[in-house]
Amino acid sequence: MHLCCFGYGKAVQSPRHEKDITTNNVRLFSYNILRSATRNFHPSNKLGGGGFGVVYRGILRDGIQVAVKSLSAESEQGIREFLTEIDMISNVRHPNLVKLIGCCIEGSNRVLVYEYLENNSLASALLGPWSRRVDLDWSQRVAICIGTAQGLAFLHEDINPHIVHRDIKASNILLDRDFNPKIGDFGLAKLFPDNVTHVTTRVAGSMGYLAPEYALLGQLTKKADIYSFGVLILEIVSGRSNSKSAWGEDLMLLVEWIWKLREEGRLLDILDPELVEFPANEVLLFIKVALFCIQAASNQRPSMKRVVKMLRNEVNFNEKLLTPPGVYKVHPTVKDSAGDSPLEGSPPEVHKDDTPVTVPSISTSINIFKMQPR
């Protein structure tokens, strides 16, 4: 396809002879440029893949390393709308957000080009296979939690219109060469506003981070991100995944286990055994902030700006106000609400009719009527 346009309603000629065009904020790459940067999308350059597509490491001709995300899901949007979103995303700049450098739209190919983060994702460094794990000490973990909180607070409260990330999880926290965190994939879900299949894939991939009201009712607000961020803090403190395994004697999700430990006055039991030196008071503070974020009652969760202050120990909070966590339990065999494709993690508690059912969490419950595909 030879029409490439960039925002502002102005159509420009597609790049010729593999040259790329620089626009206001985003570079428009030709597919050939990206193909040669990634050695024809060679498997050895593959960094990973998720609900949106596959990510490759690439090196541009000027030697700059990039992460090239080849989008797999069909977008319902036209080119202009797509580029408008890209423009919007690339305008959002913060030290704790992954920078979108450019994109490519040619034929059915839609590719995003991001700055490359040397130390991969938090999922790989903290929760990945042992060979890939990195010994993150307590001060690095503090910096990762606070940096991520700042990035999210920026998305939620400093830009207009604000952005709800929708997919805060360890694989979307990238680490630069000094292990500073940068949130990736913000704004991406907006490129696929009506693609239910895509969202289904993404939700399945993000199991464990979903606020119950989002997973079950499709209620998507900043508070759903804040829930996910709370789960992330627990993972960072414990070195354990909330979605991949069960913990404690009763094989519970991390969010259930931490509540039990709190009731038993053993919060520090959750700490990552790899952490040998740590200030117990600060660890406890972080766990408590996480508990505030994962409360089932979404209106009780603090805003991200407040979370930043809480983590920095700049505000007092009353622990007695803490209410039980929301727990979204999953069942591997249940089919999705359309009934035809298996959705990893559909809740067994959800009925297919309109009968109200109760999803138990720990001493709290959420009444739901029907799971709506989003």
Ligand X SMILES: Nc1ncnc2c1ncn2[C@@H]1O[C@H](COP(=O)(O)OP(=O)(O)OP(=O)(O)O)[C@@H](O)[C@H]1O
In angstroms, what is the minimal distance from the CB of 112 to ligand X? 9
Instruction: Give the binding range for Mg ion (CB under 5 A) out of 32-40, 170-178, 289-297, 329-337.
Output: 170-178
Radius of gyration of the chain (CA): 21
Q: Which does 49 bind (CB under 5 to 8 A by kind): ligand X, Mg ion, none?
A: ligand X
Position 163 contacts ligand X (CB under 6 A): no
Confirm or deny that 329 is annotated as ligand binding: no
292 binds ligand X (CB under 6 A): no
As to burial, measured by CB atoms within 10 angstroms (0-12 exposed, 13-18 middle, 19+ buried), residue 118 is exposed
Q: Confirm or reject binding of residue 70 to Mg ion (CB under 5 A).
A: no
**Please, what is the Cα angle at 211 between 205 and 214, to 5 degrees?**
85
Task: For residue 267, give the nearest of 156, 278, 115 by alpha carbon.
Answer: 278
Give yes or no for residue 98 binding ligand X (CB under 6 A).
yes
**Cβ proximity of 235 and 241 under 8 Å:** yes
The reply on whether position 95 binds ligand X by CB under 6 A is no
Q: In angstroms, what is the minimal distance from the CB of 302 to ligand X?
A: 25
- The reply to whether 172 sits near Mg ion by the rule CB under 5 A is yes
Q: Which entry of 167, 185, 272, 336 is annotated as an active-site residue?
A: 167
180-219 positions binding ligand X, by CB under 6 A? 184-185, 202, 205-206
Q: Are 199 and 374 in contact (CB under 8 A)?
A: yes
Q: How far is the CB of 110 from ligand X (least distance, A)?
A: 14
The verdict on 167 binding ligand X (CB under 6 A) reads: yes
Residue 209's binding partner among ligand X, Mg ion, none (Cβ under 5 to 8 angstroms by kind) is: none
Considering only residues 269 through 298, tell me which ones interact with Mg ion, judged by CB under 5 A. none
User: C-beta of 233: minimal distance to ligand X in Å?
Assistant: 18
Catalytic residue flag (residue 178): no
CB of 290 to ligand X, least distance (A): 21
Here's the x/- map for ligand X, 25-54, by CB under 6 A: it reads as ----------------------xxxxxx--
Q: The tokens of 362 are what? A: 């720990």
Task: Print the binding letters for residues 184-203 with Mg ion: x by CB under 5 A, - otherwise.
Answer: -x------------------
State yes or no: residue 120 binds ligand X (CB under 6 A): yes
Query: Interface residues with ligand X (CB under 6 A)?
Result: 47-52, 55, 67, 98, 114-117, 120-121, 123-124, 167, 171-172, 174, 184-185, 202, 205-206
Annotated catalytic residues are 167
